[in-house]
Amino acid sequence: MICILPILGQSNKKSQTKPVESIFPLILRGGEIQVQIRNETAEKDWNQYAFEKTKGLIDAYESYTGVNFHQAAAPIYKSLPESEKNKIKLVLKDAVFLNGTRIGGYNNVSGDLGKDLGIFMEPGIVPKGYPALLLHELGHFYFTEPSWLSEGIVSFLPYLLAKKGLLKLDSEELSAVTDEWSLEEARPSKDLPLSQDFRALDPSLGLWFYSKAVRTQMILYKELGNSGYKSFLKQITLSETLNTEGVLKILNKIQKKNWNQILQGWVLPGAYGAYPANSFLQMKEIDKL
């Protein structure tokens, strides 16, 4: 799984402070894990805040999907040495580089991007009170492949979980979660289906990718209803490797529908079918469903 944080809001503050390492034990349904936070910035009270948000999100994921963190994250930990298992590592740095380029943040919990494991972030993109990207990256312990599906789910779920009363977010944090994904991004002239992961083909279409991926989840939520969507997420989490065809199989198992038509234009090639390109431009539209 390779996940580069999509937003590059960067602060240029340089701090000469010593790194502060915090280790928070977190008791979950499947046992204890450790949340390790290495903070190389001057924002020292960020550690406690990030831990509280992490705890809240993982609790809410466990209760909504019905799948324990330990089970959901097993494929990620499988290839890691024993000493790295059952840990969530967050690293806050003034400037985050990957292969010599400053990218603002990246997710390397599985080790695909080198030996330094963790979720790396700059304080400018995840300040206290603005946890959208932190919540997104933590969600990838549950959802990794295919990217059109996982990127949409982990961006959309914090909002849904907050609305269901499972995740406590104040109004500023809730706005962070709704504002982060540019849902109203204008449709580009070159509009490809998500299954082609066009982020890699053309980086200028990045915001459109996330907008489409989140709104695809809103379509699925509307079509499946709350209990159907929950059971969909559970089956996705429990499938170790998954491609688009596998996702369609799971959808059909939950509800027999013309999913090809519903997802045409969004995920699958072809003209937009059941849902036009401007469907669900605001997250709060699901409040009525």
Q: Of the ranges 7-15, 57-65, 75-83, 147-155, which one interacts with Zn ion (CB under 5 A)?
A: 147-155
Q: What whole-number distance in Å separates Cα of residue 5 and Cα of residue 185?
A: 18
**Dihedral angle of Cα 22, 23, 28, 33, to the nearest 10 degrees:** 130
Do the beta carbons of residue 221 and residue 160 sit within 8 Å? yes
Q: Which residues contact 245 (CB under 8 A, 6 or more apart)?
A: none
3-state helix, strand, coil in the chain (%, to 5): 45, 15, 40
Cβ distance to Zn ion smaller for residue 69 or 141? 141
- Please report whether residue 109 would count as binding Zn ion according to CB under 5 A: no
Cβ distance to Zn ion smaller for residue 105 or 223? 105
Q: Of the ranges 81-89, 145-153, 162-170, 281-289, which one interacts with Zn ion (CB under 5 A)?
A: 145-153
Min. distance of Cβ 106 from Zn ion in angstroms?
10
Give the residue closest to Zn ion by C-beta. 3
Cβ distance to Zn ion smaller for residue 145 or 151? 151
Q: Of the ranges 30-38, 88-96, 149-157, 199-207, which one interacts with Zn ion (CB under 5 A)?
A: 149-157
Min. distance of Cβ 17 from Zn ion in angstroms?
29
Cβ distance to Zn ion smaller for residue 157 or 167? 157
Min. distance of Cβ 42 from Zn ion in angstroms?
27
Q: Which of 184, 191, 193 is nearest to 205 (CA)?
A: 191
Size of the site for Zn ion (CB under 5 A): 2
Pairing of strands 101-102, 118-121: unpaired
CA dihedral over 131, 133, 134, 135, signed as positive or negative: positive
Min. distance of Cβ 252 from Zn ion in angstroms?
26
Cβ distance to Zn ion smaller for residue 1 or 268? 1
Min. distance of Cβ 260 from Zn ion in angstroms?
26
- State the Cα angle at 132 between 173 and 153, rounded to 5°: 120
Cβ distance to Zn ion smaller for residue 138 or 262? 138
Min. distance of Cβ 209 from Zn ion in angstroms?
11
Min. distance of Cβ 210 from Zn ion in angstroms?
9
Q: What whole-number distance in Å separates Cα of residue 114 and Cα of residue 39?
A: 20
Min. distance of Cβ 136 from Zn ion in angstroms?
6
Q: What whole-number distance in Å separates Cα of residue 200 and Cα of residue 191?
A: 14
CA atoms within 13 Å, Cβ hemisphere of 22: 19
Cβ distance to Zn ion smaller for residue 193 or 206? 206
Q: What whole-number distance in Å separates Cα of residue 194 and Cα of residue 216?
A: 9
Cβ distance to Zn ion smaller for residue 3 or 88? 3
Contact pattern from residue 3 through residue 42 relative to Zn ion, giving x for each residue in contact according to CB under 5 A and a dash for the rest: x---------------------------------------
Q: What whole-number distance in Å separates Cα of residue 211 and Cα of residue 223?
A: 19
The residue ranges that bind Zn ion (CB under 5 A) are 3, 151
